[in-house]
Amino acid sequence: MKARIVPAWVLLVNAAVLSLTFYTWRFSYFGLDDFNNFYWIQRLDQSFWEMLWAIVNPFADAFRPFGWLFYSILWRLFDWNPLPYHIFAWTLHACNVILLFFLLSKTTSSALGAGTGALLFAFRANFADIYWSFGTIFELLALLLMLLALWVYRSDIPFRWKIVTIALLYLLAVKSKEMAITLPAVLVLYEICFRKHKVDSRLAMFFFILAVFGAAFGYSRFVSLGTATRSEPYYMDFSVLTFGRGYGWYFDHLYGMNARWGAWMIATFFLAAWFVYRRQKRGLFFLGYTYVALLPVVFMINHRFEFFWYVPFLGIAGLVALFVAGAERWAGQSAARKILVPASVVGLTVFAAVHVGRERRASQELIRNQRSLALEYERFVTAVQSIPPPAVEAQVYFRSLPSHFNTEVLHSATQGALHRTDVSVKIVDEFPEPCLSCVEFGR
């Protein structure tokens, strides 16, 4: 069996896993974030040029305008048809898997290692919201732009074009999701570990400008989103204890572990020390990337979600890829080299089957709940759209609500479904008589 079959088989297995991922979540509809976002798209009624200005203007205070641009375009083109939204999101995820694979392949010089890391990223129970809710478009775009920036940084294009491209990608990334604010630190870490460029005044000035912009942007977002109320979602507790517990929470939720946060800190400290001892700079980069990319979310004590792993997971995938690449090199230098190619093909196939089986089992309850919500929310939108057109500034009456709805979401979803910004909603025990704008919704 020829060695060149391994990269082809790696790509085929990853394509199969991605296809299975999207098939599993083929039922996807819209979620609570989508209803609220559709409401704001109607309420703000921004033109394309207004949205574009909010994106390119580094001082604009608009909320994630690059992600909003795609929301608005899809809303105007496809209205309440969920399929194009999810095809677009799944395409972005597929692009991220491909980019991650090629970055790992170049870094580890192992298609098998890169394929194994990409496979872990392609289908995860942690990322259920990525596959189901279009509201996570912001994470998808942020990671895509960060991976592109890394790819450009390691490329050999002229430096002046490199800094312009990366600056633009950074601007778009932070205008997609605030987690991308760590990109300058990631690039500095890459430079320290791989020495890609000559350290001179041009490079120092480039990083300084990125850092100043990142700090200014971060401060503006903290002022606009932050709160001093401890019970609010975006409250941030900047303490050493929260720092440790935050990382511990995210590491625990990768595979449903329940370790103390101190154990995670000690383990990663010794892993970093081992990398230093072995002069394994690639390992230091991937470990450092994991911690750096998670940093923006660890201090939020009331706003932790497993899908926040989406941007930092490159670090975990890279560590796994390094381990597989090391095992592959060891086997290539031993008596096992004669069976290395068939063993790689069989091993990757078995690993993919085990991984997919584990993630599907871990996702079963999530899938049941998300499928139920998708059907319920679709019935709700259909019921609202089936009533006669309400009068100007009319009230729309409801006797029951979909799961997880509150008055705010009900108001947003109703206005979005009717394409009206003047109607209001009211929850009643009994409908008034006569009632033309009454929605009889049953779960």
How would DSSP label each residue in 106-140?
HHHS-HHHHHHHHHHHHS-GGGHHHHH-GGGHHHH
DSSP 187-217: HHHHHHHH--S--SHHHHHHHHHHHHHHHHH
**pLDDT tier, 3 (very low <50, low <70, confident <90, very high otherwise):** low
Question: Average pLDDT over the chain, rounded to whole?
Answer: 91
Q: What is the mean pLDDT of residues 257-283?
A: 93
Q: What is the mean pLDDT of residues 149-174?
A: 94
Q: Are 244 and 261 in contact (CB under 8 A)?
A: yes
Q: Are 167 and 177 in contact (CB under 8 A)?
A: no
Indicate if the pLDDT at residue 265 is higher than 70. Answer: yes
CA gap 220, 61 in Å, rounded: 8
Report the DSSP pairing between strands 424-427 and 395-398.
Answer: parallel
CA gap 200, 314 in Å, rounded: 29
pTM listed for this prediction: 0.94
H helical segments located in 386-441: 407-418
For the purposes of burial, counting CB atoms within 10 Å of the CB of 188, is it exposed (0-12), middle (13-18) or buried (19 or more)?
A: middle
Nearest Cα neighbor of 189 from 279, 301, 45, 290 is 290
Indicate if the pLDDT at residue 266 is higher than 80. Answer: yes
> pLDDT at position 1, please?
47
Q: Are 69 and 51 in contact (CB under 8 A)?
A: yes
> pLDDT at position 127, please?
95
Tokens of 164: 């312009």
Per-residue burial over 373-382, b = 16 or more CB atoms within 10 Å of its CB, e = otherwise = bbebbbebbe
Indicate if the pLDDT at residue 200 is higher than 90. Answer: no
Q: What angle do CA 427, 432, 433 make, to 5 degrees?
A: 160
Q: What is the mean pLDDT of residues 326-351?
A: 79
Nearest Cα neighbor of 414 from 84, 80, 27, 71 is 80
Indicate if the pLDDT at residue 162 is higher than 90. Answer: yes
> pLDDT at position 443, please?
56
CA distances in angstroms from 33 to 90, 134, 221, 428, listed in the order given: 18, 8, 19, 25
Q: What is the mean pLDDT of residues 139-158?
A: 95
CA gap 231, 73 in Å, rounded: 35
For the stretch 368-408, pLDDT in tens is 999 999 999 999 999 999 999 998 989 999 998 999 999 99
Nearest Cα neighbor of 151 from 169, 177, 173 is 169
**pLDDT tier, 229 (very low <50, low <70, confident <90, very high otherwise):** confident
Indicate if the pLDDT at residue 313 is higher than 90. Answer: yes
Indicate if the pLDDT at residue 22 is higher than 80. Answer: yes
> pLDDT at position 335, please?
56
Nearest Cα neighbor of 127 from 246, 35, 22 is 22
Indicate if the pLDDT at residue 331 is higher than 80. Answer: no
- Lowest mean pLDDT, pick from 129-143, 167-181, 218-232, 347-361: 218-232
